[in-house]
Chains A and B, each alone.
Chain A
Amino acid sequence: MRDKLRKWREDNHRNSEQIVDVAEELINEHASKLGDDIWIIYEQVMIAALDCSRDDLAWTCLQELKKQFPGSQRVKRLGGMRLEALEKYEEAGKQYDSILQEDPTNTAARKRKISILKAQGKNTDAIRELNEYLELFVGDQEAWHELSDLYINEHDYGKAAFCLEELMMTNPHNHLYCEQYAEVKYTQGGLENLELSRKYFAQALKLNNRNMRALFGLYMSASHIAASPKVNAAVKKANVKYAAWAANQINRAYQLAGRGTKENKCSVKAVEEMLESMQITMS
């Protein structure tokens, strides 16, 4: 049981309902057997309880932690999170401000303040605050990702691309960042961006051969470039070749998937028809 909790903790799973189910039983019956682990389990459970709106459980966890670690900044942050969950944003903000007064380098409190703004729907304010935060703490990858999401929501794709570039540089082997970057570039449109997006879809595929989304993206961006009136013949030919290869791979993947049941056979056919129809509109 505790091993499961530890695994969830280390992998950053956010399966709050499961955690809450496991935790109640664990805490009530085996508190003495857990030893010192119990404090970190309390923290994990409290966050899960806030997710599931289990205020009672969250309150008990918080009380236990406060008794054990009075004046701890980590506990204060949890208290602030509880206030956030109860939508008492002003009080939560004050709590975080007090943490920051004690310790200006505390990143957790700053991030919670920004998430308060996001929860209230003030996207532009959140973006501004997050920018200031990132000026101070340039290395925080979570924050860069969050900022890119906020920018995508605001349709500011250029800046979102910038954030994703930071992420790609720090994690060059992560195919998901490549793919997200390629999608942003594709959405931005324009010939150069389409070419870039095609390249990054290809890179994502190179890093992980099974990324279907990247495969589809490769197909679409290549077809799009090929269909664009402004390209010269050589580029067009190359892109048609890429698109054909991608379509081939997609078919192959669906064939592999469709080895089993009858339903899957229909999906293979559907994919083929879709690819053909896209070709007709493109060329």
Chain B
Amino acid sequence: MAEPELLLDSNIRLWVVLPIVFITFLVGVIRHYVSILLQSDKKLTLEQVSDSQVLIRSRILRENGKYIPKQSFLMRKFYFNNQEDGFFKKTKRKVVPPSPMTDPSMLTDMMKGNVTNVLPMILIGGWINWTFSGFVTTKVPFPLTLRFKPMLQQGIELLSLDASWVSSASWYFLNVFGLRSMYSLILGQDNGADQSRIMQEQMSGAAMAMPADTNKAFKAEWEALELTDHQWALESVEEELMSRELDLDGMFSRELPTGIF
């Protein structure tokens, strides 16, 4: 049987769809500013700064080592990777993995993250569900299986209704994820309203700047540096240069005062 084309009251569009969009957007903006206010300073120790820079230097050596003479490259590689006293072999940092429960600053950070992000989402989702219940809000453009019905059609008790017709709660969740790009347009990158990014961060494990990783990072760099070879980019630079005349266009576009003559 062909799917019934439901004609939705245009009032729905006016009083449900648009308000939900506005609410989600404004809540996101407010979240962003609140997160800025609640941000705590991250204190970095000297060692962490120094280590991160050393790692950067080693990575640059790997990537751009081909621009310096072979001997210099080997000298630096030796400095880092030598068996006895290469930097990556010798330095062992004291490993103190800060577990979330014991490290007070991480704990407060987590709590703040939860409060600003998850809590409003739950609250507002529930409120919307309660206010805008009992009717169909919109239709998603692709067909869904029956499994999705209880999830997406929260207030609607029709068994025969196509699963593509969703309630306002699901429209709200759609908005939460969809407005992410709007936030980056308006608030700039790295904004506090970007929930999915934060959830991704939480899923990928603890913060990247953990000191326990330094030893592993060193080991990884050591291996990578062992593997790199030096292919001098300047082998045939003269030939390439002299294959054609220099491009001197526009060099002397205005009269320069010559001092000597």
Q: Which residues of A contact B (CB under 8 A)?
A: 104-105, 136-140, 161-162, 165-166, 168-170, 172, 196, 198-200, 202-203, 205-206, 209-210, 215, 242, 245, 249, 252-253, 256-257, 259-261, 263-264, 266-267, 270
Closest Cβ–Cβ distance, residue A161 to chain B (whole Å): 8
A169-B258 contact, Cβ under 8 Å, with A104-B46, A162-B72, A200-B234: no
Q: Which residues of B contact A (CB under 8 A)?
A: 44-46, 49-50, 53-54, 56-57, 60-61, 64-65, 67-69, 72, 234, 237-238, 240-242, 245-248, 251-252, 255-256, 258, 260-261
B234 and A199 contacting across the interface, CB-CB below 8 Å = yes
B56 and A139 contacting across the interface, CB-CB below 8 Å = yes
Other contacts beyond A165-B68, A261-B255, A267-B258: 12, CB < 8 A = A104-B46, A105-B45, A105-B46, A138-B53, A172-B64, A206-B241, A209-B248, A242-B238, A249-B246, A260-B255, A263-B258, A267-B260
CA distance A139 to B55 in the complex (A): 9
Residue from A137, A139, A206, A252 within 8 A of B248 (CB atoms): A252
Q: Which residues of A contact B45 (CB under 8 A)?
A: 104-105
Residue from A168, A199, A200, A249 within 8 A of B245 (CB atoms): A249
CA distance A65 to B237 in the complex (A): 52
A245 and B242 contacting across the interface, CB-CB below 8 Å = yes
Q: Which residues of B contact A137 (CB under 8 A)?
A: 49-50, 53
Residue from B57, B248, B260 within 8 A of A210 (CB atoms): B248
Which residue of A is nearest B72, CB measured? Answer: A165
Chain A binding site: helix, strand, loop or mixed by DSSP? Answer: helix
Closest Cβ–Cβ distance, residue B120 to chain A (whole Å): 30
CA distance A198 to B246 in the complex (A): 17
25 contacts between A and B (CB under 8 A): A104-B46, A105-B44, A105-B45, A105-B49, A136-B49, A137-B53, A139-B53, A165-B72, A169-B65, A169-B67, A172-B67, A198-B238, A199-B237, A202-B241, A206-B237, A209-B247, A215-B246, A242-B242, A245-B242, A249-B246, A252-B245, A252-B246, A253-B246, A257-B251, A264-B261
Which residue of B is nearest A107, CB measured? Answer: B49
B247 and A169 contacting across the interface, CB-CB below 8 Å = no
CA distance A210 to B241 in the complex (A): 13
CA distance A67 to B255 in the complex (A): 49
CA distance A137 to B54 in the complex (A): 8
Which residue of B is nearest A140, CB measured? Answer: B53
Q: Which residues of B contact A266 (CB under 8 A)?
A: 261
CA distance A138 to B49 in the complex (A): 10
Closest Cβ–Cβ distance, residue A141 to chain B (whole Å): 11
A169 and B64 contacting across the interface, CB-CB below 8 Å = yes
Closest Cβ–Cβ distance, residue A246 to chain B (whole Å): 9
Q: Which residues of A contact B256 (CB under 8 A)?
A: 257
Q: Which residues of A contact B241 (CB under 8 A)?
A: 202, 205-206
CA distance A162 to B79 in the complex (A): 13
CA distance A253 to B256 in the complex (A): 14
Q: Which residues of A contact B247 (CB under 8 A)?
A: 209-210
Q: Which residues of A contact B245 (CB under 8 A)?
A: 249, 252
CA distance A261 to B255 in the complex (A): 9
Which residue of B is nearest A166, CB measured? Answer: B57
Residue from B238, B255, B258 within 8 A of A199 (CB atoms): B238
A168 and B261 contacting across the interface, CB-CB below 8 Å = no
Q: Which residues of B contact A259 (CB under 8 A)?
A: 252
Closest Cβ–Cβ distance, residue A244 to chain B (whole Å): 10
A263-B246 contact, Cβ under 8 Å, with A137-B50, A170-B60, A172-B67: no
A202 and B251 contacting across the interface, CB-CB below 8 Å = no
Q: Which residues of B contact A245 (CB under 8 A)?
A: 242
Q: Which residues of A contact B72 (CB under 8 A)?
A: 161-162, 165
Which residue of B is nearest A238, CB measured? Answer: B238
CA distance A198 to B69 in the complex (A): 12
Which residue of B is nearest A264, CB measured? Answer: B258
B56 and A267 contacting across the interface, CB-CB below 8 Å = no
A256 and B67 contacting across the interface, CB-CB below 8 Å = no
Which residue of A is nearest B240, CB measured? Answer: A206
Closest Cβ–Cβ distance, residue A162 to chain B (whole Å): 7
A257 and B252 contacting across the interface, CB-CB below 8 Å = yes
Closest Cβ–Cβ distance, residue A63 to chain B (whole Å): 27
Which 5 pairs between the two chains have the least Cβ-Cβ distance?
A139-B53, A209-B247, A257-B252, A169-B64, A165-B68
Q: Which residues of B contact A215 (CB under 8 A)?
A: 246
CA distance A273 to B92 in the complex (A): 63
